[in-house]
Structure 1
Amino acid sequence: MEAHGGAASGLKRVLVLAFCVAGIWSAYITQGVLQETLSTKRFGPDGRRFDHLAFLNFAQNVVCFVWSFIMIKLWSKSSEGRAPLFKYCGVSITNTIGPAMGIEALKYISYPAQVLAKSSKMIPVMLMGTLLYGVKYTIPEYICSFLVAGGVSAFALSKTSSKTIRKLAHPNAPLGYGLCFLNLAFDGYTNSTQDLIKSRYPKTNPWDIMLGMNLWGTVYNALLMFGGPFFFANWPYANGFEALKFCRENPEVAWDIFLFCLCGAVGQNFIFLTISRFGSLTNTTITTTRKFMSIVVSSVISSNPLSLKQWGSVIMVFTGLSLQIFLKWKRKKA
């Protein structure tokens, strides 16, 4: 009887894990397709591009704020011991600027290149750890870093197909990769500060963080996109007024943006579920494999042909990431 109960419990756990994998993969792969569509497709009879890509971050802030507010009202019982909203005021600045840089990079490099560049988060982490804090890493960890750095570098230096380049708004690989690495730097600060808030306020749950970050993100992006163009004629950031006008003239864009935001909100909830049930290491494994599948989907569905050298670079990067995950699993088991 006890064995039967254990088997049933094990089956339930496997089914929940499969549900989490399916949720994360479907939400973020679909979001990636929509992101690439919005950054490369021409809309309307005039064949215009949607140039205000940072508007996607503003829209996602609004949708995720509403989503987290609903989740808190449905599931959270008490606000006692949770971080107050003003605690997210500072860290939300980097959380506004960083993702905007990452999505703006799609004007200059392809979606697979952006995914690869943003997968190399371990490199600045290890570099800063070594230079600033004297952290000693193992030889296998350096091998992981070498594989990822080498793969990203080889992909950046390899020749991109003319078909892919024609789809870009302003092809400029150095600028595109530079924006991605700045995005990683800002993300590093954002993530560490979120961890600090969580440690100081242990009763803070993921929806609280989601609410606080997206509340201030909505405020900052609204000021940048609707306040900046109002006061400055040549405003360099996304113009919210023009973005809304473009959406009114091309309802297809508005629908794609809404689906993009919805995928982000749903995906975050699956990540919360995965971390709460299986831990952050399992979540890292799932999201890493999702990134690889996003590149495959982009190559097949979005007609972004990759050369054999580029596929070799992709495999090199994800071999390094897989080895890093294996080392973490090994340490956890030990």
Structure 2
Amino acid sequence: MASALQPRGGASHMDTGEHHSSSEQSQLTDSDILSYFITKRKMKITVENAPSRAEIRRTVAKDVGIAAVLFTLVCTCFIIYQYLQELLMRIPIAGGKKFDYPVFLTFICFATNCITTSILMGGMQIKFDREYKHQSDEGEERRTVFDQFDWKIAVLGLIAATSNVCAMVSSLTAVKYVGVPTQIVIKSAKMIPILIGGFIIFRKRYPWYDYVAVLIITACIICFNFAKPNSKMDGENTPWGLFMCFFSLFWDGVTGPIEDKMLSLKDLHPYMLLFVLNVFGFPLVTASVFIFEGLEPFNIIAQEPKIWGYLALLSLTATIGQVVIVICLKLYGSLYTTLMTTIRKIASSLISIFMFNHAMSVLQWIAMSFTFATLLVRQYIKQRLGAKKKGEKESAH
């Protein structure tokens, strides 16, 4: 080691300005040289051992376990959520009556979301306070969860919250008339209004695969709705129900581009986005439930305590599912999150078809399959092309 650290030639010049001859350096031991570097140059010597196979297996098992838990939560929460939607609004369970109050169902979901997002924001603030307490730089300012909030976020948040309420109410109303399979297939075309809305509102351009996906999904929706056999349930696939599905899509087209704009401003945290949408939307949906449905849903739940469990589970699964989706987006990106949500849509559709006796033709099965497949292929192409462009930029630099 001494020979490796010895300079070549006659003399060596250290940072301290000391000069040593070759004969003096030859007498230095390994410990002398290490001591010199540590005391004079203040170097930190860190030896890191490569992780063992057992440690690698534990890390992989942990990551796979977390992904499995999140995937299970996404599928379970949204399957239960959509099953309860159809159960409450299409099956007589409250004294022989259907609990078909979509605005009230939206109201309880927003109430639970407000509580949950407030807790998340509080948790973020606790984290900021701890980081501030243990920081080494005394000149750094204390952060709060509302540092990113300004008038632009407030205005965009109010518009997005309003359109989000309209989308959710019309989507729940559609279930009353068309059932979950039709609703899911039509709502899978959410990219159509988002693409149109993004272009009209923000003049945003989209890649070629988005346009191809829009054309395929549009064709699948047309086939799905015009190839339906005679229904086994009253009011199945009525024009009003289909209109509400497309009306919900319209509001999705307004909400999506505005949410993208909000996230791009100041790198807005997704928890902050959820908080703004729910807190701004809650007063609107509260007023709407009294204007459009009055006190009737409140009177029914007062007379039928068994509905409380359904409503609590509905709102809880909606909230947990929403939060888990955000976590998945942060951890795994949009490709794997889309895979999770597409699988749960397939499961929700199949459960609804067999539990509520929805009649399906062969062409409808094909159209539904092509819809889900298009979503997955489109996301895969997006991911691959994005990675390719990133690699080209890095190689250019």
Q: Structures share a fold, TM > 0.5? A: yes
Which residue does the alignment assign to 1:117? 186
CA contact (8 A) 2:216 2:374 kept: yes
Q: Deviations over 1:251-290 (max 9, x none)?
A: 2323212111100111112112211211123212211221
Q: CA deviation at 1:331?
A: 1.4
Aligned-pair Cα RMSD in Å: 2.4
Map 1:54-203; keep pairs closer than 5 Å: 54-77=103-126, 78-83=144-149, 86-87=154-155, 88-127=157-196, 133=203, 135=205, 137-138=207-208, 141-163=210-232, 165-166=233-234, 168=235, 171=236, 173-202=238-267
- 1:43 is matched with 93
Q: Which has the higher contact order (CA 8 A, sep 6+)?
A: 1
CA contact (8 A) 2:190 2:252 kept: no
The answer to whether the Cα contact below 8 Å between 1:57 and 1:100 also exists between their aligned partners in 2 is yes
Match for residue 208 of structure 1 among 223, 247, 272:
272
Q: Secondary structure at the match of 2:360?
A: coil
Question: 1:161-196: CA deviations, max 9, x gaps?
Answer: 432x32x4xx45332222222212212322322232
- 1:112 CA drift (Å): 0.4
Instruction: Confirm or deny: 8 A CA contact 1:55 1:240 kept in the other structure.
Output: no
Q: Which residue of 1 aligns with 2:298?
A: 244
| 1:300 positional shift | 2.4
Contact 2:184-2:349 within 8 A present in 1 as well = yes
Do the aligned residues in 2 keep the contact of 1:105 with 1:177 (CA within 8 Å)? yes
Counterpart-to-counterpart distance in 1, 2:206 and 2:269 = 33
Q: One-letter code of the match for 1:82?
A: Q
The superposition leaves residues 8-44 of structure 1 with CA deviations (integer Å, 9 ceiling, x where unpaired) of 3333222221121111001101101101101101124
Residue of structure 1 in register with 2:369 after alignment: 315
Are 1:268 and 2:322 counterparts?
A: yes
Which residue matches 2:309? Answer: 255
Aligned length: 317
Alpha-carbon displacement from aligned partner over 1:58-84 (angstroms, at most 9, x marks no partner): 110101101111222234333252325
Question: Cα offset for 1:134?
Answer: 8.6
How far 1:332 sits from its partner (Å)? 2.8
How many angstroms apart in 2 are the aligned matches of 1:14 and 1:37? 34
Equivalent position to 1:29, from 70, 79, 91: 79
SS of the aligned residue for 1:293 comes to helix
- Against the structure 1 CA distance between its residues 162 and 62, is the aligned structure 2 distance closer, same or farther, given a 3 Å change threshold? same
Gap change, CA 1:134 and 1:329, over 3 Å in 2: closer
- 259-268 or 82-91, larger mean C-alpha shift: 82-91
Question: What is residue 326 of structure 1 aligned with on the other side?
Answer: 380
Q: How much does 1:126 deviate?
A: 4.2
1:197-246 per-residue CA deviation (whole Å, 9 max, x = no partner) reads 233233x43332222211222101111222x2xxxxxxxx3x14111112
Q: Match of 1:81, as an amino acid?
A: D
Between stretches 304-313 and 109-118, larger displacement belongs to 304-313
Quick check: 1:145–1:320 contact (8 Å CA) kept in 2?
no
- 1:134–1:80 distance in 2 versus 1, CA, 3 Å: closer
Distance apart, 1:143 and its partner CA:
4.0
Task: Please say which of residues 239-248 and 324-333 is displaced more in the overlay.
Answer: 324-333
Summarize the Cα distance change of 1:289–1:246 in structure 2 as closer, same or farther, 3 Å threshold. Answer: same
Instruction: Work out whether residues 64 and 265 of structure 1, in 8 Å CA contact, stay in contact via their aligned partners in 2.
Output: yes
Residues 82, 147 of structure 1: alpha-carbon distance in 2 compared, 3 angstrom cutoff: same
**Cα distance between partner residues in 1 of 2:105 and 2:297:** 10
My pick for the range that moved more, 30-39 or 276-285, is 276-285
Tell me, in whole angstroms, the C-alpha distance in 2 between the residues paired with 1:62 and 1:125.
26
Which structure 1 segments of 5+ residues have no match? 229-236
Give secondary structure in 1 for the equivalent of 2:357. Answer: coil
Structure 2 equivalent of residue 297 of structure 1: 351
Task: Give the superposition deviation at 1:100.
Answer: 0.7
Over 3 Å counting, the alpha-carbon distance change for 1:278 and 1:242 in structure 2 is same
Once the 2 structures are TM-superposed, how far is the Cα of residue 89 of structure 1 from its aligned partner? 2.5
Asked if the contact 2:198/2:257 (under 8 Å) is kept, the reply is no
